[in-house]
Amino acid sequence: MKPVAPPPLAHQPVYPVPPRSGNDINGLGAREKIRARHVFHTTPAYGMPDWFLLNRFFNAVVPFATLRQGLAVRWWMRRHAGPTAPTRVDLGGPDAAAAAVKAAAKRFGAAIVGITPLLDGDQYAHADLAGTYPFAIALGIPMDRARMADLPGPRSNTEVIRVYKELARTVALLSEWLRARGWKTKGYGDPGSTDLLQIPIAVRAGLGELGKHGSLICREHGSNIRLATVVTELPLAPDRPVDIGVEDLCAHCRRCTLDCPPAAIADAKQWVRGEFKWYVDFDKCAPYFSIAGGCAICIQVCPWAEDGRGPLLAEQLLKKRGARAAKSAPAAAE
Ligand code: SF4
Ligand code: SF4
């Protein structure tokens, strides 16, 4: 997929006083583990004075159809938290409970589901969930590739929020299902950043790997996917992170780097809050993302995002890696 008439860079907003770098706020360059802080896609309630105006601008330019889907997200979010039934239902231990939760999540609309312990670093600085909710259930629903074809444009932007509406619904129903069985549970199906960082949770839960474009890549749908999380006190058997060959391809591919209009995607990994990983330059991406009314170019041009290609790509990449290892093994033994 190729971007269709992306807005020119010259239209980017100009600030009378440049805001504090979002990269600094994000902890770019920090080698020690620190909690993330809110920068964008959020509300003043979480404290975000630096990029508040840009966030407001973005919210003001979204088309009516997108706004309507956004209101539906809010409607479902009312049910993300709520009272827990007084009596606990025994779901048969962590393995059986994990299987039951995954089946329920799929029944409620999730395309992919994984489970991981909730860690301190999965939370934004203000949040304190890990003590109450030790497990996280990561969920993903793909976008319709045909509706993403005008990117960046009103149809693709509306499709993104439509999928968040589906996630918000799935999260509400799964959270209620668990609370009705006596287990404290809270859902996060909001496209904004609230308490949790969705991507590290999804990676540890085995949904996929982090790509160079800073988004999750899963075997089934590549980066053509949106994520949500449900946290619970119910003990669940965790999944393991997967290796589908994303690292092998991102090391050489430059598709997203070349197609990103403001050149926000770096070719090398960087230190971010104590982790050496792929990182997108916030100060370049966010202004462009906002004038485009939501930009998804990088995640759609990615070869993984093509319908049906992911499983084949994973198979080929892992096979190639195996062949390379076999070739170098005798040399290493000499
Ligand atoms: S990094 Fe940002 S600006 Fe660049 S393609 Fe991705 S969303 Fe668009
Ligand atoms: S477009 Fe290429 S480099 Fe970018 S995330 Fe996808 S595979 Fe990796």
The share of the chain scoring above pLDDT 90, in percent, equals 74
pLDDT over 80 (residue 332): no
Instruction: Give the pair of three-digit tokens for residue 299.
Output: 């995640």
pLDDT over 90 (residue 151): no
What's the CA-to-centroid distance between 211 and ligand 1, angstroms?
A: 13
Ligand 2 in contact with 250 (CB < 6 A)? yes
Judge whether 211 and 313 are in contact, CB under 8 Å.
no
pLDDT at 48: 65
Ligand 2 binding pocket mutation candidate from 301, 304, 317 (most atoms within 8 A of CB)? 304
Ligand 1 in contact with 151 (CB < 6 A)? no
Q: How far apart are CA 217 and CA 223, in angstroms?
A: 5
Ligand 2 in contact with 264 (CB < 6 A)? no
What single-letter DSSP state applies at residue 222? B
Closest residue by CA, ligand 1 atom 8: 295
Identify the CA nearest to 201 among candidates 238, 160, 164: 238
Judge whether 133 and 186 are in contact, CB under 8 Å.
yes
Ligand 1 in contact with 280 (CB < 6 A)? yes
Q: How far apart are CA 88 and CA 221, in angstroms?
A: 36
What single-letter DSSP state applies at residue 18? P
How does pLDDT run across 102-116, given as a tens digit for each residue?
999 999 999 999 999
Judge whether 64 and 155 are in contact, CB under 8 Å.
no
The minimum-distance atom of ligand 2 relative to the CA of 278 is 5
What's the CA-to-centroid distance between 10 and ligand 1, angstroms?
A: 16
Ligand 1 in contact with 7 (CB < 6 A)? no
Confidence bin at 43 (pLDDT 50/70/90): confident
Ligand 2 in contact with 259 (CB < 6 A)? no
What's the CA-to-centroid distance between 300 and ligand 2, angstroms?
A: 10
Ligand 1 in contact with 260 (CB < 6 A)? yes
Closest residue by CA, ligand 2 atom 3: 250
**Backbone φ and ψ of 123, nearest 5°:** -105, 150
- Proximal ligand: closest to the CA of 285: 1
pTM of this prediction? 0.94
Ligand 2 in contact with 253 (CB < 6 A)? yes
Mean pLDDT of 135-141: 98
Judge whether 187 and 171 are in contact, CB under 8 Å.
yes
Instruction: Give the pair of three-digit tokens for residue 77.
Output: 């979010």
Closest residue by CA, ligand 1 atom 6: 298
Judge whether 97 and 234 are in contact, CB under 8 Å.
yes
Cis peptide before 152 (omega within 30 of 0): yes
- Proximal ligand: closest to the CA of 286: 1
SS3 labels along 128-173:
CCCCCCCEEEEEEEECCCCCCCCCCCHHHHHHHHHHHHHHHHHHHH
Closest residue by CA, ligand 1 atom 2: 285
Ligand 1 in contact with 265 (CB < 6 A)? yes
Ligand 2 in contact with 280 (CB < 6 A)? no
**Backbone φ and ψ of 309, nearest 5°:** -85, -30
Judge whether 329 and 25 are in contact, CB under 8 Å.
no
Question: With DSSP H G I counted as helix, E B as strand and the rest as coil, what are the percentages for the chain, rounded to 5?
Answer: 40, 15, 45
How does pLDDT run across 221-238, given as a tens digit for each residue?
999 999 999 999 999 999
pLDDT at 21: 93
Q: Are strands 270-272 and 275-277 parallel, antiparallel or unpaired?
A: antiparallel
Q: Which residue has the higher pLDDT, 53 or 199?
A: 199
263 contact partners, CB below 8 Å, separation of at least 6: 257, 284
Ligand 1 in contact with 297 (CB < 6 A)? yes
Mean pLDDT of 225-254: 97
pLDDT over 90 (residue 138): yes
How does pLDDT run across 278-290, given as a tens digit for each residue?
999 999 999 899 8
